[in-house]
Amino acid sequence: TVFGDPPLAGARLADRLVPGDRPRLAAAIADALRGTPAQLEVGVGNGDRPRTIALALSCLPEEDGALALLSARDVTPERDLQL
């Protein structure tokens, strides 16, 4: 669930991803659940223009399986400066 940005707050991240980034995120989650940390940038829909979000994923082992911990940061301003 997304926190913070009002147009995205309360939305499921997967529902707001740019469609081409969904397979990349799924692969990163699978890697994280196998114990391989992953980092990637994805596009997230936000009105007229997608935002660029940097994601870091890692594994949290649990007794009844593993969980993927996902940390996200909006890097759109930094990427805009690179253009």
**Distance of alpha carbon 40 from alpha carbon 47, whole angstroms:** 22
pTM of the predicted model as reported, rounded to 2 decimal places: 0.78
Mean pLDDT score, 18-44: 92
- For the residues 21-35, what does the mean pLDDT come to? 92
Question: Dihedral of CA 15/4/79/67: which sign?
Answer: negative
Task: Name beta bridge partners: 59.
Answer: 68
Query: Any idea what the Cα angle at residue 17 is, between residues 11 and 22, rounded to 5°?
Result: 125
Distance CA 13, CA 80 (A): 22
Q: What does the pLDDT look like over 42-83, one tens digit per residue?
A: 998 866 778 899 999 999 888 777 888 888 888 988 888 876
Per the model's pLDDT, the better-predicted residue between 20 and 61 turns out to be 20
